[in-house]
Amino acid sequence: MQRNPQLNEAGELQHLLSIEGLPREILTQILDTAESFAGVTEREVKKVPLLRGKSVFNLFFEPSTRTRTTFEIAAKRLSADVINLNIAVSSQSKGESLLDTVANLSAMQADIFVVRHGSSGAPFLIARHVKPHEHVINAGDGRHAHPTQGLLDLFTIRHYKKDFSRLTVAIIGDVLHSHVARSLIHGLTTLGAQEVRVIGPQTLLPAGVEALGVKVFHDMREGLRDCDVVVMLRLQNERMGGALLPSAQEYFKSYGLTLDKLSAARKDAIVMHPGPMNRGVEIDSTVADGPHSVILPQVTFGIAVRMAVMSIVAGN
């Protein structure tokens, strides 16, 4: 197999495309760097000059307001110039190919491309065709990966639980369509979490998911037993009322996170969600707004993690 396309010849992070295949040291480096940036975001002047003069292009081939905004804030706090491109409604509809779009932006002197695309693997294709000094950061590709989300989840878990080696983490819901779940699973197995579980109906779990190193549960209470970390996944509206699930109500009954179900987990368990939440579908408001929830800190940490990733790739 070819060299991991996100590493340069020295084994350093050239692009961030997926957590899969990244060595533990690089993950730890990113988390440690993010730790140092967490302070910046609390200062009155929330800027450091690390990326001054650099251009960050946010290339969003499908909309994701939150991800785009946090990347934008992170880049600005590093003093980079940020250009947001909502490609879904511009050149793609005029028939320009993905690689032509990238080549044109490259001609405008880009340094970092932050890419969101509906098709798995699209950032890999772009990374193969950019110039050597340009960097690609995957901001979510199809069902495949969302590495900065996975990293901010890891950052959050580390922040509250310190050590990964004794943790049991449950990921609940639509794993089949989730780039968040895949990235977090790879991160957790790389950092040595004791047990990673996925919980959901068979229709929402991909074939052979056990091979990723997870235990499969279909019963929510059983799967939550003694968990330290509970990660809820967003269930998109279009998944409901088709062949995958009969209805939102029925889903909530079996797999929605309520205080009652959460009582099976450890008393000090934290509850996470990548957002945006569907209250009353995958999570009850009493949990989302309750003492176990770390959903809003996740968003704050997300900025520091994205600052870390951009500064690291730009330096390699």
**Contact residues for other proteins (CB under 8 A)?**
1-2, 5, 20, 97-99, 117, 119-122, 124-125, 141-145, 179, 182, 206-209, 211-212
CB of 208 to other proteins, least distance (A): 4
Burial of residue 86 (number of CB atoms within 10 Å: 0-12, 13-18, 19+): middle
The smaller minimum CB distance to other proteins, of residues 116 and 292, is found at 116
Minimal distance, residue 265 CB to other proteins, in Å: 26
Q: Rank residues 82 and 136 by Cβ distance to other proteins and give the closer one.
A: 136
DSSP string, 209-267: GGGGT-EEESSHHHHHTT-SEEEE----GGGBTSSSBS-HHHHHHHH-B-HHHHTTS-T
Compute and round to an integer the Cα radius of gyration of the chain: 19
Is the CB of 209 or the CB of 232 nearer to other proteins? 209
Tokens coding 179? 């780039």
CA distance 100 to 102: 5
> Cα(181)–Cα(173) distance, rounded to whole angstroms?
9
Give the C-alpha separation, 137 to 147, whole Å. 9
From the CB of 104, what's the least distance to other proteins, in Å?
15
Nearer to other proteins, 78 or 180 (CB): 180
Nearest distance in Å: CB 47, other proteins: 35
Please state the φ and ψ torsions of residue 169, each to the nearest 5 degrees: -120, 130
Q: Element (H or E) spanning 52, and its range?
A: none
**In angstroms, rounded to a whole number, what is the distance separating the alpha carbons of residues 90 and 231?**
35
Q: How far is the CB of 271 from other proteins (least distance, A)?
A: 25
User: Which lies closer to other proteins via its Cβ, residue 60 or residue 124?
Assistant: 124
Round to whole Å and give the CA distance between 41 and 301: 9
- The least CB distance from residue 117 to other proteins, in Å, is 7
Judged by CB, which is closer to other proteins: 112, or 122?
A: 122
What residues are paired with 82 via a beta bridge?
A: 56
AA letter at 148: T
Q: Is 229 exposed, middle or buried (0-12, 13-18, 19+ CB in 10 A)?
A: buried
Q: Which is nearer to other proteins, 77 or 117 (CB)?
A: 117
Which CB sits closer to other proteins, 116 or 158?
116
Could you tell me the smallest distance in angstroms from the CB atom of residue 245 to other proteins? Answer: 17
Give the relative orientation of helices 295-315 and 24-38 as an angle to the nearest 10 degrees: 110
Q: Shortest Cβ distance from residue 239 to other proteins (Å)?
A: 13
Supply 281's token pair: 């579908």
